A and B are shown apart, each in its own frame.
Chain A
Amino acid sequence: MPAIPNKRTPSAVETAVSLGVLAVLATVLAWMFQAQRRFNPAVTVAAAAAESAAKAAGAPVASPPELFASWPVGLGAMSVAESFTPATLSDKIDGKAELYLSAGFVAMRCQRVALVANPAAWMEAFVFDMGTPASAFSVHSSQKRPGATEVELGDYAYRAGNVLCVVHGRYYVEIVAADDRVPTMEAATGLARVFVATTAVEQHADVSRDQALFPPEGQLAGSVTLLSTDVFGCEQLTDVFVARYREGDGEVTLFVACRASPAEAGRQAAALRSFFVKDCGGRELSPPAAPAGAAIIDSGGTFDGVFASGPILAGVHQAPSGEAAERWLVRLQAKLPPAQP
């Protein structure tokens, strides 16, 4: 009997099936890589929080027994000072922790104090270390109460009823009092002054340059806000200044963001435009005559506009009509520095 080799060449059908299986596997692999590249930002925040907590745990923390170096006359400690990290912040402020975490929160310390003469008049001072003055301004401006009264104290200080808020370098300080009576709020102001006077900072928050990019006419007082993440629901859009304006019976929001280069601003303008259309189900209108390269999107009854001018990303959010959106875009462009050719 002749020797017959065991090996044989695969048939065309077998080859085709094998290639098909490999193609499916490659597709699955590509999908997995793609999915892993687009992490939910919540996961990123949680991971960053865990990393910060681990670092904090590894480093010795100098934790003085009192929150402030000295107390103003007439105030005494009501509780011990507490410290919170990114991993534990929500234990203290529950769902509001996300606002701080997404803006770069580092640590928070707090302590309750009361008037010696009237222990029922108590307050809790919160000192949030936000890492940078810009982040401190971001959480400060995001929570600013309408009708707040400016206070001559530190940066961007205001009082709204029973609460006093101030930015001091990388710190955002909030003092929440149990009532809004004069002695209580005077004590709260004194407490804030002590913090500002005794806490050295390298740099102060200064958003005047960004603020100056907005047209002043019609701007609602105190409405300039720095949004750190997830601006307008767009995950890719971060660190954007917004300001609100009166428009008829309602409001519109203008936004500006200085980017590293004109190319970066242009790329983000395109991404935001795509977000309004693809993710929000919007419909792009015919391009307006000005600004050059601008797009206006009908987002289901409200209108968003976006353009890039040099390194600045700018636009309007939730205008009542396409015409209004175009009008606000032109007004905004007129305030921006001319783009270099």
Chain B
Amino acid sequence: MNPADSQPPPPSAVPPPSRREFLRRTLEAGVALAATGSLGAWLWNRHPPGDFNRAASAALLPDFSVRDGGRSMSIITGQNRPAMLRRGLEAMGGIERFVRRGDRVMLKVNAAFATPAILGATSNPELVAELAHLCLAAGAAAVLVTDNPINDPESCFNLCGLAPAVRAAGAELIVPRASDFVSGTLPGGQLIRNWPVLTGPFHGVTKLIGIAPVKHHNRAGASMTMKNWYGLLGGRRNQFHQDINGIIVELAMMVRPTFVVLDGTTSMMTNGPTGGSLADLKATNTLVVSTDPVAADALGATLLDRTWRDLPYLGRAAECALGTADFESLRPERAAV
């Protein structure tokens, strides 16, 4: 007999379990593991609301920007919108720099409200018509105009004067239908996830130009070219007002336009974005053409007696490298007409 066998175990040592005890504990552990795993599998949502799926992301918009190293901003002062637009584009190298023969050009306007054009709540019809003319003269195969006013779109386009102006200019007005919206997810987005986006009218489109007025906005502080993309969202989009800065930044991530036109000929200084009174407007006599929407909106903020720092979405967009809030760094060409 080994002397060690005769020594009692130390008081603190746990004795080895019996065979029966071992089997019981193993069984208990197995049941616990199986129950936990089953519960996890039962609770696991294989298709959560924010699930990224390739089919959906492919439905989002392509990059419409033109990267040729040319001037990226012009600031024109005056009161004649068509003349200011022509001068602004001339300073940028001409419309031919952006629109080539055979292009299908989409003009994304702001037609959100059924209010007369003089109230400045929507894109100016004369300005939109002039841009359509210029695109067609540059050889565009077609110029399309769209927006998604949720309430009564036909009345919105007609009463704000855009419908007759667009048709007279030889462009095609597209009033969105339900089938024009496709559920899409912005890669890296926190808000635009499996959300209906107006993509139908963009089939075959090769260039995208945004045209927006300068407006105070009760929720966002200001509504300009970046907020204008909000009209590409469908569904109950009002819920995005709870994170208005976040959604504007994500829209800027989603939409890379060829260029934008910011119309600050008159600016809505208060009671935006609907306004309603001529007393809400101020003649600020400025029109901006820019390939950088962040820079355009940063300049627009000054027309509302603010700076880009007063509009959180501009700083966040700049941090995301979507553009620069320091618009002077672009060395914009300035002219008066």
Task: Give min CB distance, A173 to chain B, whole Å.
Answer: 12
On whether the beta carbons of A145 and B280 are closer than 8 Å, the reply is yes
On whether the beta carbons of A8 and B14 are closer than 8 Å, the reply is yes
Chain B residues touching A, range? 35 or more
On whether the beta carbons of A98 and B278 are closer than 8 Å, the reply is no
On whether the beta carbons of A161 and B218 are closer than 8 Å, the reply is no
Q: Please give, as numbers and ranges, the residues of chain B lying within 8 Å of A4 by CB-CB distance.
A: 9, 15
Task: Give min CB distance, B288 to chain A, whole Å.
Answer: 22
Question: 7 more A-B contacts (CB under 8 A) besides A79-B152, A93-B274, A95-B244?
Answer: A91-B150, A96-B271, A99-B218, A143-B270, A148-B279, A162-B278, A180-B278
Contact with A along B120-143 (1 / 0, CB 8 A): 000000000000000000000000
On whether the beta carbons of A160 and B274 are closer than 8 Å, the reply is no
- Whether a CB of chain A sits under 8 angstroms from the CB of B60 is no
A-B contact pairs, 6 of them (CB 8 A): A79-B152, A82-B152, A122-B159, A160-B279, A161-B277, A161-B278
Give bound CA distance, A12 to B21, whole Å: 26
Q: Please give, as numbers and ranges, the residues of chain B lying within 8 Å of A92 by CB-CB distance.
A: 151
Give bound CA distance, A140 to B112, whole Å: 23
A-contacting 9-mer, from B75-83, B234-242, B295-303, B319-327: B234-242
Interface residues of A, dominant DSSP: mixed
Q: Which one of B152, B276, B279 contacts A174 once the chains associate, using CB atoms below 8 Å?
A: B276
- Whether a CB of chain B sits under 8 angstroms from the CB of A163 is yes
Closest residue on chain A to residue B215 by CB atoms: A95
On whether the beta carbons of A46 and B271 are closer than 8 Å, the reply is no
On whether the beta carbons of A95 and B279 are closer than 8 Å, the reply is no
Q: Which one of B113, B116, B239, B280 contacts A46 once the chains associate, using CB atoms below 8 Å?
A: B239
- Whether a CB of chain B sits under 8 angstroms from the CB of A290 is no
Q: Please give, as numbers and ranges, the residues of chain A lying within 8 Å of B150 by CB-CB distance.
A: 91
A43-B242, A98-B219, A124-B114 known; A143 vs B271 contact (CB < 8 Å): yes
Q: Which one of A99, A146, A163, A179 contacts B276 once the chains associate, using CB atoms below 8 Å?
A: A163
Q: Which one of A98, A124, A143 contacts B241 once the chains associate, using CB atoms below 8 Å?
A: A98
Give bound CA distance, A180 to B239, whole Å: 35
- Whether a CB of chain B sits under 8 angstroms from the CB of A153 is no
On whether the beta carbons of B217 and A112 are closer than 8 Å, the reply is no
Of residues 277 through 300 on chain B, the ones whose CB sits less than 8 Å from some CB of chain A are 277-280
A145-B279, A146-B279 known; A95 vs B217 contact (CB < 8 Å): yes
On whether the beta carbons of A145 and B270 are closer than 8 Å, the reply is yes
Give bound CA distance, A176 to B279, whole Å: 12
Give bound CA distance, A162 to B217, whole Å: 20
Task: Give min CB distance, A93 to chain B, whole Å.
Answer: 5
On whether the beta carbons of A161 and B279 are closer than 8 Å, the reply is yes
On whether the beta carbons of A97 and B238 are closer than 8 Å, the reply is yes
Give bound CA distance, A90 to B113, whole Å: 11
- Whether a CB of chain A sits under 8 angstroms from the CB of B223 is yes
On whether the beta carbons of B151 and A98 are closer than 8 Å, the reply is no
Task: Give min CB distance, A214 to chain B, whole Å.
Answer: 22
On whether the beta carbons of B116 and A179 are closer than 8 Å, the reply is yes
Closest residue on chain B to residue A98 by CB atoms: B219
On whether the beta carbons of B114 and A147 are closer than 8 Å, the reply is no
- Whether a CB of chain A sits under 8 angstroms from the CB of B307 is no
- Whether a CB of chain B sits under 8 angstroms from the CB of A40 is yes
Task: Give min CB distance, A318 to chain B, whole Å.
Answer: 15
On whether the beta carbons of B277 and A178 are closer than 8 Å, the reply is no
Give bound CA distance, A8 to B15, whole Å: 11
On whether the beta carbons of B279 and A112 are closer than 8 Å, the reply is no
Give bound CA distance, A147 to B220, whole Å: 26
A95-B223, A124-B114 known; A147 vs B241 contact (CB < 8 Å): no
Contact with A along B76-99 (1 / 0, CB 8 A): 000000000000000000000000
Q: Please give, as numbers and ranges, the residues of chain B lying within 8 Å of A145 by CB-CB distance.
A: 270-271, 277, 279-280
- Whether a CB of chain B sits under 8 angstroms from the CB of A94 is yes
Of residues 90 through 142 on chain A, the ones whose CB sits less than 8 Å from some CB of chain B are 90-99, 112, 122, 124
On whether the beta carbons of A98 and B218 are closer than 8 Å, the reply is yes
- Whether a CB of chain A sits under 8 angstroms from the CB of B272 is yes
- Whether a CB of chain A sits under 8 angstroms from the CB of B57 is no
Give bound CA distance, A90 to B149, whole Å: 11
Give bound CA distance, A126 to B155, whole Å: 16
On whether the beta carbons of A96 and B218 are closer than 8 Å, the reply is yes
- Whether a CB of chain B sits under 8 angstroms from the CB of A42 is yes
Give bound CA distance, A178 to B114, whole Å: 10
- Whether a CB of chain A sits under 8 angstroms from the CB of B115 is yes
Closest residue on chain B to residue A123 by CB atoms: B116
Q: Please give, as numbers and ranges, the residues of chain B lying within 8 Å of A95 by CB-CB distance.
A: 217-220, 223, 241, 244, 272-273
